[in-house]
Amino acid sequence: IETKIPVQSRELWNKHKVQKFNTSEEFEEKFISHVEWTLARSLYNCDDLAAYQATSQSVRDNLVIDWNKTQQRQTVRGGKRVYYLSLEFLMGRALDNALINMRTDTSAQDVGKTDQVLTKGNTSREMIRQAMKDLGFKLEDILEQEPDAALGNGGLGRLAACFVDSLATGNFPAWGYGLRYQYGIFAQKIINGYQVETPDYWLNFSNPWEIERAEIQVPINFYGYVDRTNGEQSTLAPSDWIGGERVLAMAHDMPIPGFKTSTVNNLRLWNAKPTTEFDFSKFNSGDYKNSVEQQQRAESITAVLYPNDNFEQGKELRLKQQYFWCAASLHDIVRRFKKNGRPWSEFPDAIAIQLNDTHPTLAIVELQRILVDLEKLDWHLAWDIVIKTFAYTNHTVMQEALEKWPVGLLGHLLPRHLEIIFDINWFFLQNVEKKFPHDMELLSRVSIIEDASSDRQVRMAFLAIIGSHKVNGVAELHSDLIKTTIFQDFVKIYGANKFTNVTNGITPRRWLKQANPKLAQLISETINDPNDDYLLDMSKLTELSKYAEDAGFQKKWNDVKQFNKLRLADLIKRLNGGVDVIDREHIRNTLFDIQVKRIHEYKRQQLNIFGVIHRYLEMKEMLQSGGSIEEVANRYPRKVSIFGGKSAPGYYMAKLIIKLVNSVAEVVNNDAEIQDLLKVYFIPDYNVSKAEIITPASDLSEHISTAGTEASGTSNMKFVMNGGLIIGTVDGANVEITREIGEDNIFLFGNLSENVDELRYNHQFHNPELPKPLKRVLDTVESGAFSPQNHHEFKPLTDSIKYHGDYYLVSDDFESYIATQDLVDEVYHKNKKEWLKKSILSVANVGFFSSDRCIEEYAETIWNAEPVKPE
C-alpha cells in the first residue's frame, strides 16, 4: 500500500504503534484519559453523559485500530467490494452493540487466562461492566445516555442496519453509503391521544461514533444545462453538463464491527456543505448577504429524513437528496477503483452495488454518465458495465410507494441525466420491439417514461430493473408477487432468472444477545455453548428442541419471559408518568399482546383495536347479563394489548388509528367493572432502543397485514427469536416462519393473497353485509363511546370499511381474527405447557432468519463476492 512516509521513518512509526486496550485496567486508563483530554473534564465533573462519551471514545479507539487494519487488508487482497446504497440506516445505539461485537486482542484466544479479561463468553461487555463499576458508574445507566441513530423510518432502514452488521461479521469487504441527516425520524409525543411530531436533533451532543473526514469533499452539481455549442453532438457521445448550483459532500464514517472477528467495516454518511465558491456577481452588486445565504442553503439537503414509510411524496428536495448521495458515493467508489489501474471492463469484477429500493436508482444513471461523459467510454460498453455492477431490491408492491418523478422536475435538476434516461429507454424499447414486434401496448406499459398522465413521469423501478442484472424481493411470497403483478412484463422480456428471492433476516447479536441477555444466557448454558457460537451458527439452536417439554427447562424459560415482561412494565410505567398500567402481581397470568411497527392501514392496527373493542364489549355484556367477574375472567383472561409506532405526519387515517387506540385505552383502563382484566397501552415514540425492551417481553405479537401487502416484515422474526408466539396472516415472511418453526407453533388466520382481488371486487360491486360482531364494534365506535366530546371523530375509519370498499379487508378477516384470538387465550391460559413448548420450538427453529444467512445468499447469488478473512 502506498504511503508518503519515507522508509527510514517507518521504524519510528512502528515503535510507537497504537495498541488496543485488552484488560479492564487498560480500559480504565483509556477512559480517564478521554475524560481529561477529549472531554476536558475530570473526576469532579464526570456525569453519566460524560462517562458514556469517554467509554464510547475508548471503545472507538479499539475499533479504529481494527478498522484501519481491515481497510488495509481489503485493499491488499483486492477482492470484490460490495457497496450497499441505502437512504436509511436505522442503527439505534452503537455502544452496547460494540461491546458485544468488539474483540480485545486477548479476549478470543485467551478466555479465562487472566481474570481481567472476561471469564464467560468472549464479548467485552462483562469486562467493561466491571470496569465501569470500579470507576463509579453503572453500565446500564451509561448505555441509556446514548441517543438512537434513527436515520430511518422502519423495516427498510432497520434491514440496512442488520445487513451492515452481518456483512462485517461475515468478513465481506463491504461499505454502506447513506446520508448524515441532521434530523432523524421525528420523536413522537402523544398529547391528548394525538400524535405530535417533534424534531430529533440527535447530534445535539457530539457523536463519538462518527469520524469526520474533512479531507473527503466531493463537489456535486445541480441544475444548469448541457452544452452542445461545439457542433452537432449525439446525446450518446460525451457531453458537457454545465452545473448551475454546486454543493460539497463531506464524508462521515462510522465503524461497523463484526462479531467474533476483527473485521471492522465502514458506513459512510454524506453531509451537505456549502462550497467556498461564491457568487461574485451578487457580491459586486452589493448583495453580500444574499450570496452567503444562498450558500447556507446547501446544508438543507441533508437536514432531514423524509418521514414516510411505504409512501413517496415526490418532493424536489428528496430528489436532490437522492442525487447528492448517489453522485458522492459513485465518485468515491470510482476513485477507489481507479487507484488500482485496472481496465474499465473489470469494474463489475471489482465492484457490486446493491440498491436498497429505488431510492438510489440515479446511481445507475450517474455511473453511465461518468463512463460516457468523463471517461469517454463507448455508450454500449459503458452500459454493459453498469448492468453488471448493479442489483436492485424491491421492498413493496404498494402503488403509492413506487417512485415516479415528473420529467420536467428531473430534467430541470439534472438535465444531462434526463437525456441519458431517455437514451437508456430508447435502446431498451428497441430490444423489446425486436423481441415482441408491434406490441405497442407492451412498449407503453414497460417504458421508463409513463406517458399516460398529463405530465410525463420517470418510473424509477423500471429504470432500476433495466439497469440491474438481478432484482430481488424480500420474502418468497413477495418475490412471487412482484413477478406476477408490478413487474410481470419484465419477466416476459428478461426471463424469470433475472428475478430472485432473498428472504430478509435480522442480526441475532442485537436482537437476541443484546436485547435479551437473560434468554441468551439460558440458551448458551443449555446448549453448552459458553462462547456464544450459536450467534454465528444458528442451527445450533435446534438443540433446544430436546428440552421443549422438559418441565425444569420450561420453568427457566418462563422465568426469563416474566423477567422481560417486568422490564417492559417498568418502561411503560416510566412512560406513563410514573403511573403503573400493568398489574405486576398477576403478570405471569397476563398475556402480553404486542403490535409495534409503523402505523399503516395495510398493517391493520385498526383490525387489532377493533378486536380489543370486541373483547371489551363481550366482557361488558357478560357482566350485564349477570355473569360474575370470575366467569368473565375465565372466558377472557388477563391481557395487555400494547401498541406502538409512528404515523407519517401527513397520513390522516394512520393518525386517527393512533387516536382511537388511545381513546379506547382511556375507557377500558378506567373501567373498574372489568377489574384490570384488560388493559390497553400505546407506547409513545417507538424506536430501536425501545424495541430492544419490547420485543423480548411479548407472549404474542401481531403481524396481521392484508395478505399480499407486507413484503416481508422483520419484527415477526425478532419476536420469534425472543420466544414470542405470533398471530398473523399468510403474508410476507410469516409464510416461511410457519415453514421453519412448524404450523403448530403459529396462529395463522385470514384470507389468502390469491383471493384479495376477488374480495375487493366484491366490496366494490356488491357491498356485502358486515359480520355481526364487527358491526357491533363499528356501531359502538360511531356512538361516541370512545369520543364522547365528538361522536363523529372516528367516522372516517368506520366509513372506510362500511362505505369505501374496505380496501384492506378488515371485515373479511375479522371473524377469523377473533376466533384465532380465542384460541390464543385458550392455549395460553389453559395449557401453559403447550404454550411454552411452542415458544421453545420457535426459538429452536428460528435460525434461518439470521441476516448472516441472508447476506450469504446475496453474496453467492447476486454479488459473487467472497469474504476477506483476517489471518
Strands 449-450 and 457-459, bridge-based pairing: antiparallel
Q: Which is nearer to ligand 475, 732 or 750 (CB)?
A: 732
156 is a contact residue toward ligand 475 (CB under 6 A): yes
185 is a contact residue toward ligand 475 (CB under 6 A): no
- Closest contact distance (angstroms) between CB of 437 and ligand 475 is 36
- Alpha carbon 138 to its chain's center: 30
CB 654 within 8 A of CB 647: yes
String marking each residue 663-702 x if it binds ligand 475 according to CB under 6 A: ----------------------------------------
The three grid cell numbers given for residue 312, joined into one nine-digit string: 413517496
Q: Does 396 qualify as catalytic in the annotation? A: no
Strands 89-92 and 470-473, bridge-based pairing: unpaired
Q: Which is nearer to ligand 475, 332 or 710 (CB)?
A: 710
Q: Which is nearer to ligand 475, 55 or 479 (CB)?
A: 479
Classify burial at 815, counting beta carbons within 10 Å of its beta carbon; exposed 0-12, middle 13-18, buried 19 or more: middle
Q: Three-state SS string across 353-402, please?
A: EEEECCCCCHHHHHHHHHHHHHCCCCHHHHHHHHHHHEEEECCCCCHHHC
String marking each residue 461-500 x if it binds ligand 475 according to CB under 6 A: -------------x--------------------------
String marking each residue 211-250 x if it binds ligand 475 according to CB under 6 A: ----------------------------------------
State the Cα–Cα distance between residues 576 and 570, nearest whole angstrom. 10
The catalytic residue among 34, 73, 404, 603 is 603
- Closest contact distance (angstroms) between CB of 471 and ligand 475 is 14
CB 83 within 8 A of CB 333: yes
722 is a contact residue toward ligand 475 (CB under 6 A): no
Which span sits near ligand 475 by CB under 6 A: 43-51, 177-185, 304-312, 649-657?
A: 304-312
Q: Which is nearer to ligand 475, 55 or 153 (CB)?
A: 153
Q: Which is nearer to ligand 475, 684 or 713 (CB)?
A: 713
Q: Which is nearer to ligand 475, 309 or 806 (CB)?
A: 309
308 is a contact residue toward ligand 475 (CB under 6 A): yes
820 is a contact residue toward ligand 475 (CB under 6 A): no
Q: Which is nearer to ligand 475, 401 or 657 (CB)?
A: 401
Q: Which residue is nearest to ligand 475 (CB)?
A: 155
State the Cα–Cα distance between residues 265 and 68, nearest whole angstrom. 9
Site for ligand 475 in 367-406 (CB under 6 A): 395-396, 401
Q: Which is nearer to ligand 475, 709 or 821 (CB)?
A: 709
- Closest contact distance (angstroms) between CB of 356 and ligand 475 is 9
310 is a contact residue toward ligand 475 (CB under 6 A): yes
The three grid cell numbers given for residue 623, joined into one nine-digit string: 357482566
Q: Does 252 qualify as catalytic in the annotation? A: no
Q: What are the beta bridge partners of residue 644? A: 596, 683
> What phi-psi label fits residue 438: left (phi over 0), alpha (psi between -120 and 50 degrees) or beta?
left
End-to-end Cα separation, the chain, in angstroms: 18
The three grid cell numbers given for residue 747, joined into one nine-digit string: 396462529
The catalytic residue among 695, 714, 780, 798 is 714
The catalytic residue among 718, 763, 837, 838 is 718
Q: Does 718 qualify as catalytic in the annotation? A: yes
State the Cα–Cα distance between residues 774 and 780, nearest whole angstrom. 10
- 88-to-224, 308, 689 alpha-carbon distances in Å: 29, 11, 17
Q: Which is nearer to ligand 475, 154 or 644 (CB)?
A: 154
Q: What is the CB neighbour count within 10 angstroms for residue 289? A: 9
Q: Which is nearer to ligand 475, 188 or 712 (CB)?
A: 712
Site for ligand 475 in 342-361 (CB under 6 A): 357
Residue closest to 374 by CA, chosen among 169, 237, 273, 497? 237
CB 42 within 8 A of CB 34: no
- 812-to-522, 746, 804 alpha-carbon distances in Å: 42, 21, 14
Candidates 153, 447, 479, 722; binder of ligand 475 (CB under 6 A) is 153
Q: What are the beta bridge partners of residue 253? A: 211, 268
Classify burial at 766, counting beta carbons within 10 Å of its beta carbon; exposed 0-12, middle 13-18, buried 19 or more: exposed
- Closest contact distance (angstroms) between CB of 359 and ligand 475 is 7
- Closest contact distance (angstroms) between CB of 628 and ligand 475 is 44
Give start and end residues of each alpha helix (H) in 153-250: 155-169
Torsion sign (Cα): 273, 279, 280, 286: negative
> What phi-psi label fits residue 171: left (phi over 0), alpha (psi between -120 and 50 degrees) or beta?
left
Q: Does 470 qualify as catalytic in the annotation? A: no
- Closest contact distance (angstroms) between CB of 655 and ligand 475 is 18
Q: What are the beta bridge partners of residue 405? A: 458
Cell 399482546: give the residue.
593
- Closest contact distance (angstroms) between CB of 602 and ligand 475 is 8
The footprint of ligand 475 on this chain (CB under 6 A) covers a number of residues equal to: 22
3-state DSSP helix/strand/coil percent for the chain, to nearest 5?
A: 50, 15, 35
155 is a contact residue toward ligand 475 (CB under 6 A): yes
The catalytic residue among 597, 600, 614, 639 is 597
Q: Which is nearer to ligand 475, 401 or 464 (CB)?
A: 401
Which span sits near ligand 475 by CB under 6 A: 26-34, 149-157, 619-627, 645-653?
A: 149-157
- Closest contact distance (angstroms) between CB of 845 and ligand 475 is 20
- Closest contact distance (angstroms) between CB of 194 and ligand 475 is 23
Q: Which three-class secondary structure state does DSSP give residue 17?
A: coil
- Secondary structure E strands in 435-590: 449-450, 457-459, 470-473, 499-501
Which span sits near ligand 475 by CB under 6 A: 13-21, 133-141, 154-162, 837-845?
A: 154-162
Which span sits near ligand 475 by CB under 6 A: 55-63, 303-311, 369-377, 839-847?
A: 303-311
Cell 457490486: give the residue.
352
Site for ligand 475 in 428-457 (CB under 6 A): none
- Closest contact distance (angstroms) between CB of 852 and ligand 475 is 16
Candidates 92, 154, 255, 644; binder of ligand 475 (CB under 6 A) is 154
State the Cα–Cα distance between residues 854 and 501, nearest whole angstrom. 10
- Closest contact distance (angstroms) between CB of 466 and ligand 475 is 20
Candidates 96, 148, 165, 312; binder of ligand 475 (CB under 6 A) is 312
The catalytic residue among 359, 395, 513, 540 is 395
CB 99 within 8 A of CB 166: no
Q: Which is nearer to ligand 475, 137 or 849 (CB)?
A: 849
Which span sits near ligand 475 by CB under 6 A: 50-58, 150-158, 684-692, 856-864?
A: 150-158
Which span sits near ligand 475 by CB under 6 A: 239-247, 281-289, 309-317, 343-351?
A: 309-317
Strands 174-179 and 81-85, bridge-based pairing: parallel
Q: Does 714 qualify as catalytic in the annotation? A: yes
Q: Which three-class secondary structure state does DSSP give residue 817?
A: helix
Residue closest to 388 by CA, chosen among 348, 356, 424? 348
The three grid cell numbers given for residue 613, joined into one nine-digit string: 373493542
Q: Does 435 qualify as catalytic in the annotation? A: no
Candidates 432, 461, 711, 756; binder of ligand 475 (CB under 6 A) is 711
State the Cα–Cα distance between residues 834 and 838, nearest whole angstrom. 6
Candidates 684, 732, 750, 847; binder of ligand 475 (CB under 6 A) is 732
- Closest contact distance (angstroms) between CB of 503 and ligand 475 is 10
- Closest contact distance (angstroms) between CB of 562 and ligand 475 is 30
Element (H, E) at 215: strand 211-222
Contacts of residue 681, defined as CB under 8 A and 6 or more positions apart, other chains included, come to 572, 576, 581, 582, 640, 641, 642, 643, 665, 669
Interface with ligand 475 by CB under 6 A: which residues?
153-156, 159, 308-312, 357, 395-396, 401, 474, 504, 710-714, 732
- Cite the active site residues: 395, 597-598, 603, 714, 718
